[in-house]
Amino acid sequence: MPPHPTIALDAMGGDIGPAVVVAAAEIARVRYPELHFQFFGDEKAIASELDHWPKLQTVTTVIHTDEVVLGTDKPSQALRRSRTSSMGLALNAVKEGAASAAVSAGNTGALMAMAVFALRTLPGIDRPALASLLPTLRAESVMLDLGANTQCTATHLVEFAVMGAAIARTMLGQRRPRVALLNIGVEEMKGTEPLRDAAAQLRASPDLPLEFIGFVEGDQISSGDIDVIVTDGFSGNIALKTAEGTAKLIAGLLKNAFQSSLWTKIGYIFAQAGMQALRDHLDPNNHNGAVFLGLNGIVVKSHGGANAVGFASAIGMARDLVMDNLAERIAQDIALVQAIPAAEALSVGGR
Amino acid sequence: MPPHPTIALDAMGGDIGPAVVVAAAEIARVRYPELHFQFFGDEKAIASELDHWPKLQTVTTVIHTDEVVLGTDKPSQALRRSRTSSMGLALNAVKEGAASAAVSAGNTGALMAMAVFALRTLPGIDRPALASLLPTLRAESVMLDLGANTQCTATHLVEFAVMGAAIARTMLGQRRPRVALLNIGVEEMKGTEPLRDAAAQLRASPDLPLEFIGFVEGDQISSGDIDVIVTDGFSGNIALKTAEGTAKLIAGLLKNAFQSSLWTKIGYIFAQAGMQALRDHLDPNNHNGAVFLGLNGIVVKSHGGANAVGFASAIGMARDLVMDNLAERIAQDIALVQAIPAAEALSVGGR
């Protein structure tokens, strides 16, 4: 680990661009004085934001490019600008060792395609996955895959379990994270064949650095009883978005409830501090940062609508994963997966 | 429609049994004076509950059986007691025309298997589906399938769209319900092949009594912009349970927020009425009742943990669907589906 790990920042991604990304880097600089930063994007726009933060300038380089991957670009279009766009250049800096991690708030599909193209998957990893932290009643949990892989085999799910556990050790500080497969029931015979096969393989692998819990249903995702929830990208995306929608629904109802009468409005004035704590706990900016797992390098995706605090959380996630040598640890753990017997050799329930 | 439609009630299903089911029937009798009831289960236990409600006794018959389908029974075990258990006898009453609908709070998988066995699917329906009402910011929406069919073809999804629209016309009073397919993005090329094919077929079918919106993501389920959300049973179950879990998470955080200081506790006292309205809007007892669609008869599943008000909602749902001739209307609409060109004949996006 270099004494001053460098984080490559795509300054042009997200809804706002350089203003948010530069302000976020300043927050991260104060939190993590060891970090250096590389900004990729419009030099003028970045420089005018850096003018506000003289100390940040001393640990920063700016690499100019006019080209930007748009939110509407298809992955195939974005790939054509791998070597010229701000997103592509940030990923390239990781590939060439100039930076230890890249962070972008740009187009997810494009970032995924370009990250795989630039960094390639780790040996033994079939498919990279997108993982994120979610708020729970206790603290946070890790969920993956969140949309990178629509359909998954048992092998993919087992790889996701191992990679998710590696993240949970770093981000949640759990030595032996509790890992579960998302399913429509907890009984062994429930769900699809890849799920049942993956469960059989994980049950047969006590040497993996995780505790396999079995199946959980959607209502357990936010319970805090599970550290890592493993699912295919289709179900993961549905679950994540449904949770967001439900939170928005209840926030709307709560607002109506507080505005329904003079009494409830007075109630809000008294309860304000508690409500703020609730909002903070659920604020996506405080859980921001999804990581592409299984690549030769660390790539973190920030929410496109994140503010500076949110983007700084994503930088913090990248920094923690760099300090913990995530990519190397995943490579080691995946080597253990190779030793798991194939599903056909195990007695799989429900067949 | 008979002047006094009879609802067959499995008195032994659910966590509590006769006490809840009989009290629920009394609530339903007051709301819908035209209804008659048949109770199936332990005669003594039912009679002792009926003692509280003399008026209910005048519109009620009790059919005794000792046998009960347990929550732990597999569908195959339950099927063996099709002709002897309280659940099986209630379904049989619908089959033989003695009742117009059956309501049970018992084991979902067993109820599904026994309902299909007793009532058979409507002509042109490949697979029955489980549909339910969900709270949204405006009112309610219908979602299906919620777990009856783990994997679905495009044809199944189209059938679900038509059946869901039929329910929405009755339950939401929408003449031309807005129907969408749940997906991981709104663009035409997103998602799985069955989803893309089903979308192409629905787009090519302007004669169906519904307005096809296209794809929606999970965060739109509770927006109130869509009347019917169509999905396979795996994703539907994940979405439903995730929404439940998120609501529970926020309720827990809200409780903590109100208890965090003296001020917030005072705030709660003032805001209490508003909070009660919020709780009522989200209370599953007020949205209780899932219906098995596509059968020759109406079968409503109540939540196993429902109270008398909740079970009465499920009876109300059964009554509304009977009065609206749901099964006949679905049979008519499904005839229109037969005229849709096969997916291969349509230009399907994303191929």
Q: Is B186 on the interface with A (CB under 8 A)?
A: no
Contact A250 B282 (CB under 8 A): yes
Termini Cα distance of chain A: 48
Q: Is A273 on the interface with B (CB under 8 A)?
A: yes
* Of the candidate ranges A284-288, B74-78, B146-150, the one whose mean pLDDT is the lowest: A284-288
What are the φ and ψ backbone dihedral angles of B144, each rounded to 5 degrees?
Answer: -155, 155
Q: Is A186 on the interface with B (CB under 8 A)?
A: no
Indicate if the pLDDT at residue B348 is higher than 70.
no
Contacts 24+ apart (CB under 8 A), A50-54: A50/A22, A52/A22, A52/A23, A52/A26, A53/A22, A53/A26, A53/A29
Q: Cβ contacts (< 8 Å) between B263 and chain A: which residues?
A: 270-271, 273-274
Q: What pLDDT digit, counting tens, does each position of B210-258 carry? A: 999 999 999 999 888 999 999 999 999 999 999 988 888 888 888 887 8
Indicate if the pLDDT at residue B151 is higher than 80.
yes
Model confidence at B160, pLDDT cuts 50, 70, 90, reads: very high
Give me the torsion for CA of B217, B220, B225, B231, rounded to 10°: 50
Indicate if the pLDDT at residue A343 is higher than 70.
no
Residue of A242, A254, A268 to mutate for B, most B C-beta atoms under 10 A: A242
Sheet with strand A140-144: strands edge to edge: A60-64, A36-41, A6-10, A101-104, A298-301, A290-293, A129-135, A140-144, A228-230, A178-182, A211-216
Give the DSSP letter string of B299-318.
EEEPPTT--HHHHHHHHHHH
Q: Is B18 on the interface with A (CB under 8 A)?
A: no
- Position B349 scores a pLDDT of 45
At position B56, the amino acid (one-letter code) is L
Q: Cα–Cα distance between B63 and B211 in angstroms, integer? A: 44
Residue of B77, B181, B232, B238 to mutate for A, most A C-beta atoms under 10 A: B238
- Complex ipTM value: 0.82
Contact A244 B219 (CB under 8 A): yes
Average pLDDT over residues A184-208: 89
Average pLDDT over residues A138-142: 85
Residue of B nearest to A190 (CA): B150
Indicate if the pLDDT at residue B328 is higher than 90.
no
Q: Is B261 on the interface with A (CB under 8 A)?
A: yes
Q: What pLDDT digit, counting tens, does each position of A88-124 carry? A: 999 999 999 999 999 999 988 899 999 999 999 998 8
Residue of B nearest to A267 (CA): B267
What are the φ and ψ backbone dihedral angles of A135, each rounded to 5 degrees?
Answer: -70, 140
Q: Are A334 and A159 in contact (CB under 8 A)?
A: yes
When CB atoms are compared, the residue of B136, B150, B259 closest to A192 is B150
Give me the torsion for CA of A284, A289, A290, A294, rounded to 10°: -160
Average pLDDT, chain B: 89
Contact A192 B270 (CB under 8 A): no
Residue A50 CA to chain centroid, in angstroms? 27
Model confidence at B73, pLDDT cuts 50, 70, 90, reads: confident
Contact B184 A237 (CB under 8 A): yes
Q: Is A267 on the interface with B (CB under 8 A)?
A: yes
- Position B210 scores a pLDDT of 95
Q: What is the DSSP letter of A295?
A: B
Query: How far B233 CA sits from the closest chain A CA (Å)?
Result: 9
The dihedral built from the CA positions of residue A200, A202, A203 and A206, taken in this order, carries a sign that is positive
- Position A274 scores a pLDDT of 77
Write a three-state SS string for A18-84: HHHHHHHHHHHHHHCCCCEEEEEECHHHHHHHHCCCHHHHCCEEEEECCECCCCCCCHHHHHCCCCC
Q: What pLDDT digit, counting tens, does each position of B26-56 carry? A: 999 999 999 999 999 999 999 999 999 999 9
Q: Cα–Cα distance between B27 and B21 in angstroms, integer? A: 10
Bigger pLDDT: A166 or A342? A166
Q: Cα–Cα distance between A262 and A326 in angstroms, integer? A: 53
Give the range with max mean pLDDT: A191-195, B87-91, B126-130, B281-285: B87-91
- Tell me what percent of chain A is helix, strand and coil, each rounded to the nearest 5: 50, 15, 35
Burial pattern B6-32, b for ≥16 Cβ within 10 A else e, equals bbbbbbbbbebbbbbbbbbbbbbbeeb
Indicate if the pLDDT at residue A151 is higher than 90.
no
- Position B350 scores a pLDDT of 41
What are the φ and ψ backbone dihedral angles of B202, each rounded to 5 degrees?
Answer: -70, -35
Contact B274 A266 (CB under 8 A): no
- Position B343 scores a pLDDT of 61
Q: Shortest CA distance to B244 belongs to which of B132, B92, B161?
A: B132
Q: Shortest CA distance to B148 belongs to which of B168, B165, B171, B125?
A: B125
Model confidence at A351, pLDDT cuts 50, 70, 90, reads: very low
Tokens read off for B187: 């663009």
Q: What pLDDT digit, counting tens, does each position of B245-292 carry? A: 888 888 888 888 788 778 778 877 877 777 787 777 777 777 788 999
Q: Read off the pTM.
A: 0.85
Q: Is A282 on the interface with B (CB under 8 A)?
A: yes
Q: Which single residue is written with the structure tokens 């049973």?
A: B233
**Do the bridges between strand A36-41 and strand A60-64 make them parallel or antiparallel, or are there none, so unpaired?**
parallel
Indicate if the pLDDT at residue A222 is higher than 90.
no
Contact A221 B245 (CB under 8 A): yes
- Position A349 scores a pLDDT of 45
- Tell me what percent of chain B is helix, strand and coil, each rounded to the nearest 5: 50, 15, 35
Q: Is A76 on the interface with B (CB under 8 A)?
A: no
SS3 label, residue B176: coil
- Position A347 scores a pLDDT of 54
Q: Cα–Cα distance between B126 and B16 in angstroms, integer? A: 34
Average pLDDT over residues B94-121: 93
Model confidence at B1, pLDDT cuts 50, 70, 90, reads: low
Contact B257 A238 (CB under 8 A): no
Question: What burial class does residue A49 get, using C-beta atoms within 10 Å of its C-beta: 0-12 exposed, 13-18 middle, 19+ buried?
Answer: buried
Indicate if the pLDDT at residue B351 is higher than 60.
no
Q: What is the DSSP letter of B148?
A: S
Model confidence at A63, pLDDT cuts 50, 70, 90, reads: very high
- Position A344 scores a pLDDT of 62
Q: What pLDDT digit, counting tens, does each position of A305-342 carry? A: 889 999 999 999 999 999 988 888 888 888 887 777 66
Indicate if the pLDDT at residue A238 is higher than 70.
yes
Average pLDDT over residues B122-145: 88
Q: Shortest CA distance to B20 belongs to which of B114, B133, B107, B103?
A: B103
Average pLDDT over residues A23-42: 96
- Position A316 scores a pLDDT of 94
Q: Cα–Cα distance between B44 and B67 in angstroms, integer? A: 14
SS3 label, residue B294: coil
Contact A221 B242 (CB under 8 A): yes
Average pLDDT over residues A247-252: 83
Q: Cα–Cα distance between A306 and A20 in angstroms, integer? A: 8
Q: Cβ contacts (< 8 Å) between B235 and chain A: which residues?
A: 234-235, 238
- Position A16 scores a pLDDT of 81
Close Cβ partners of A51 (under 8 Å, ≥ 6 residues apart): none
Q: What is the DSSP letter of A135?
A: E
Question: What burial class does residue A175 get, using C-beta atoms within 10 Å of its C-beta: 0-12 exposed, 13-18 middle, 19+ buried?
Answer: exposed
- Position B170 scores a pLDDT of 87
Indicate if the pLDDT at residue A8 is higher than 80.
yes
Model confidence at A350, pLDDT cuts 50, 70, 90, reads: very low
Q: State what percent of residues in chain B have pLDDT above 90.
A: 58
SS3 label, residue A314: helix
Helix (H) or strand (E) holding B140: strand B140-144
Residue B335 CA to chain centroid, in angstroms? 23
Contact A260 B238 (CB under 8 A): no
Q: Are B327 and B351 in contact (CB under 8 A)?
A: no
Q: Are B135 and B288 in contact (CB under 8 A)?
A: no
Q: Cα–Cα distance between A45 and A35 in angstroms, integer? A: 22
Q: Where are the alpha helices (DSSP H) in A172-307?
A: 193-203, 233-258, 262-282
Contact B233 A264 (CB under 8 A): no
Average pLDDT, chain A: 89
Close Cβ partners of A302 (under 8 Å, ≥ 6 residues apart): A13, A14, A103, A104, A105, A288, A289, A310, A311, A314
